[in-house]
Amino acid sequence: MSQTSSGRELGAGIPRAPEAIRNVVLVGPSHAGKTTLVEHLALATGAITRAGVVEDGSTLSDGDDAEHRQQRSVSLSLVPVDHDGARINLLDTPGYADFVGEVRAGLRAADAALFVVSAVDGVDTATSMLWDECAAVGMPRAIVITKADRQRADVEGTIEHCQALFGEGMGVLPLYLPLHADDGHVAGLLGLLSRRVFDYSDGVRVETSPDPEHLSLIDDARTSLLEGIITESEDETLMDRFLAGDEVPFDTLVEDLEKAVARGHFFPVLITATSPVGFGMSELLEILVRGFPSPLEHPLPAVTSPDGAPESPLTCDPSGTLCAEVVKTSSDPYVGRMSLVRVFSGTLRSESTLHVSGHFMSDRGHDDHDLDERVGALISPLGKTQRAIGQVIAGDIAAVAKLNHAETGDTLSSPTHPLLIEPWVMPDPLLPVAIVAHASSDEDKLAVALARLVAEDPTMRLERNPETGQIVLWCMGEAHVDVVLDRLKARYGVNVDSEPLRVSLRETFTGPAKGHGRLVKQSGGHGQYAVCDIEVVPLPPGSGFEFVDRVVGGAVPRQFIPSVEKGVRAQMAKGVAAGYPVVDIRVTLVDGKAHSVDSSDMAFQMAGGLALKEAAAAARISLLEPVDEVLVLVPDEYVGAVMSDLSGRRGRVTGSEGVGTGRTKITAEVPGLELTRYAIDLRSLAHGTATFTRHYLGHEAMPAQVAQGLAYTR
């Protein structure tokens, strides 16, 4: 935006006030160049050397460390840089759809979003959906086009694509155009506001006046840009002056542009290149510092007390009540647990005692908790370099060491005034994978390792299914599964094997039946004697179990009738045909016999179980499978394919309705057995544009041909 090349102050240090902080989350598809862009911004601000290393010799990406490279690609990471008197906390997020939880955490920690789009690959639909998500909460945004100097790069086409997807009439306009060299590749930028040419063809930034050809390009695009800026101006006379042909002062345009960006009303498009020399970094840094809002300008999340009582809204005041949130948790076998924390109010100091509140995640294996804990060192991370700091003020982000009980999403506050922050919305993990320890030596370590992984990752749910006996990890997708299993092995030395997922089946009677249970044993002294006759009748689905006593004449003594019921229930839990629990039946005790000496509670329990087994042997037993209600939100062009796929899964489509523009909600009832890999298949079917949820409805009879194909029992 500047009219002249600006020499910026570097190394501004830790900010003294929230207004000097910019928290920016970088989002975009995989391979768009987010991590490379972060490294070049760090290089441009002097945080790293031209060789890409920090002062202690480590690198931001640690290319020789495979584990760290993977962490950088699938985890939220923080890179703080200083520019023009401001601290810019760059939050680099994964581009894979499986790690949307990391993106959501970055959005919570940030005050503005930088959408990174490759000039070679363009915008994917997941990024477009994320744009809509940011728009719903009014988050300020800018777009940066990367790889502008690559072969096959189409900068102009990418700008048009962004305008079409993100809203051409919504202030998505470029601040610069690409400067093409004689051979066609992009060698610099044409500044639309400044009407200047920034040529990088010789490896350094050379600023010149445009020739007539470039001036024509600049002025054509500049008119649309000025109209977009002036439309958002608070000066209502500015548009009239512009339409009358008056020249709007440059400083006025820049000031109005920066205000519109900070308010989330204008979304500038910038252009960068990171190879071999790179350009656009100073222009991007200028927008980040001058256009993006400080924490003082961004709404803060709602808070309550841990018991749910309302509290006063937070203010971004370093002297206010302490309230911070853990946005990322990571574990290292050598360093221990490290928590990335955003401070919303107050000041967090090292070696202090905090109250840790964790709620709302018990359904995913994260137990609710409230406790006091002493924190260790506060760290400003840069790659693997850990720079100790004394405090973190409101609005800033830093890492906290040795916060051993806090989990991702937990609230940190003062022990004398505990608070709880309203959690951000996390997607439901919908891909189950059953695991088992590879060897007995792994079993002892597995529980501890899983507990730590669950604490780190709120998008993973741990289930120990009491019916199937399996340990089930619910993940976001195949890539998420691979990362979780790799972390178990690499970090904690736990080897596991995956096994076929078993769904919780049931058994029931399809018609009435009678059973006779007789237990007569005599081996000297007191024996075992019990006889009972029962009638079994199937009940409607979901009715459960009923026990009726119709014994007359005291054939079964009153004290043993509960024993018969107990025995029947025990046999129902074990199953009568394939080893699955029996449900939805009424058992009526109609007759029996007892012995004055040899009858006992245990004898009648066993007789009740034998009677139910005999009744099952004479009746037809049906297997029941769980059925879920599935809600699929899908673009209209994929509705037919999704409905056809659901029908192929033995699903019953119960309805469809339009939701918003160009999207349809499909409702269906689908057997749980057919949904094991639906998270993967739906993503492939709708090219990552569809989402779904599932809720258990009940158990229904399984078709005979499907039941015969099952290769497992309890």
DSSP 575-630: -SSSS--B-SEEEEEEEEE--TTT--HHHHHHHHHHHHHHHHHTS-EEEEEEEEEE
**For 92-112, what is the mean pLDDT?**
92
Q: What confidence score (pLDDT) does residue 361 get?
A: 60
pLDDT tens by residue, 621-658: 999 999 999 999 999 999 999 999 999 999 999 999 99
Label each residue of 397-431 as H, E or C: EEEEECCCCCCCCCEEEECCECCEECCCCCCCCCE
| Full-model pTM | 0.85
**Within a domain: residue 72?**
yes
Longest dimension (CA), the chain: 117
Instruction: List the beta bridge partners of residue 22.
Output: 88
* Residue 404 binned pLDDT confidence (cut-offs 50, 70, 90): confident
Reference 222, options 193, 189, 182; nearest CA is 193
Q: Residue 180: which CATH number?
A: 3.40.50.300
Are 146 and 129 in the same domain?
yes
* Residue 10 binned pLDDT confidence (cut-offs 50, 70, 90): very low
DSSP string, 309-363: -B-PPP---TTS--EEEEEEEEEETTTEEEEEEEEEESEEETT-EEEEEE-S-GG
Q: What confidence score (pLDDT) does residue 366 get?
A: 65
Instruction: From 564, 587, 619, give the residue that closes a domain.
Output: 619
Q: What confidence score (pLDDT) does residue 245 get?
A: 78
- By three-state DSSP, how is residue 504 classified? coil
CB distance 517 to 610 below 8 Å: yes
What are the residues whose beta carbons fall under 8 Å from the beta carbon of 416, sequence distance 6 or more?
none
- By three-state DSSP, how is residue 209 classified? coil
Are 193 and 73 in the same domain?
yes
**Within a domain: residue 364?**
yes
* Residue 60 binned pLDDT confidence (cut-offs 50, 70, 90): low
Are 109 and 144 in the same domain?
yes
pLDDT tens by residue, 650-684: 999 999 999 877 899 999 999 999 999 999 999 99
Give the Cα separation of 413 and 420 in Å (integer).
Answer: 8
Are 694 and 595 in the same domain?
no
State whether the Cα torsion 70-74-75-79 is positive or negative.
Answer: positive
Inform me whether the pLDDT recorded for 46 exceeds 90: no
Q: Tell me the H-state helices in 167-264.
A: 212-231, 237-243, 250-262
**Within a domain: residue 1?**
no
Give the Cα separation of 205 and 482 in Å (integer).
Answer: 44
639-677 residues labelled b (16+ CB within 10 A) or e (exposed): beebbebbeeebbebeebeeeeeebbbbebbbbbbbbbe
Give the Cα separation of 35 and 383 in Å (integer).
Answer: 11
Give the Cα separation of 266 and 500 in Å (integer).
Answer: 51
**For 113-140, what is the mean pLDDT?**
89
Are 276 and 322 in the same domain?
no
Q: What confidence score (pLDDT) does residue 235 get?
A: 80
Domain count, the chain: 5
Instruction: List the beta bridge partners of residue 358.
Output: 369
Are 382 and 458 in the same domain?
no
Q: What confidence score (pLDDT) does residue 135 get?
A: 87
Inform me whether the pLDDT recorded for 691 exceeds 50: yes
Instruction: From 394, 421, 448, give the residue that closes a domain.
Output: 421
Most confident by average pLDDT, 33-47, 442-456, 504-518, 697-711:
504-518
Q: What confidence score (pLDDT) does residue 524 get?
A: 63
**Within a domain: residue 523?**
yes
* Residue 66 binned pLDDT confidence (cut-offs 50, 70, 90): very low
Residues in the chain: 714
Q: Residue 452: which CATH number?
A: 3.30.70.870
Are 550 and 475 in the same domain?
no
**Within a domain: residue 13?**
no
The mean pLDDT value of the chain amounts to 88
* Residue 287 binned pLDDT confidence (cut-offs 50, 70, 90): very high
pLDDT tens by residue, 194-221: 999 999 988 888 999 999 989 999 998 9
Q: What confidence score (pLDDT) does residue 264 get?
A: 87
**Within a domain: residue 581?**
yes
Are 137 and 265 in the same domain?
yes
* Residue 371 binned pLDDT confidence (cut-offs 50, 70, 90): very high
Are 235 and 371 in the same domain?
no
Are 115 and 227 in the same domain?
yes
Hey, what are 410's tokens?
């937990």
Q: Where are the beta strands (DSSP E) in 76-140?
A: 77-83, 86-92, 112-118
pLDDT tens by residue, 135-173: 888 899 999 999 999 989 999 999 999 998 887 556 899
Instruction: From 497, 529, 548, give the residue that closes a domain.
Output: 497
Are 292 and 317 in the same domain?
no
**What is the Cα Rg of the chain in Å?**
33
Q: Which helix (H) or strand (E) covers residue 164, if one does? A: helix 155-166
**Within a domain: residue 397?**
yes
**Within a domain: residue 5?**
no
Give the Cα separation of 603 and 607 in Å (integer).
Answer: 6
Q: Residue 682: which CATH number?
A: 3.30.70.240
Say how many C-beta atoms besides its own lie within 10 A of residue 334's C-beta.
Answer: 4
Say how many C-beta atoms besides its own lie within 10 A of residue 613's C-beta.
Answer: 16
Q: Residue 311: which CATH number?
A: 2.40.30.10
Are 695 and 609 in the same domain?
no
Q: Could you say which DSSP state residue 249 is in?
A: P
Q: Could you say which DSSP state residue 524 is in?
A: S
* Residue 8 binned pLDDT confidence (cut-offs 50, 70, 90): very low
Give the Cα separation of 530 and 607 in Å (integer).
Answer: 6
State whether the Cα torsion 165-169-175-177 is positive or negative.
Answer: positive
CB distance 322 to 347 below 8 Å: yes
Q: Which domain holds residue 334?
A: 303-421
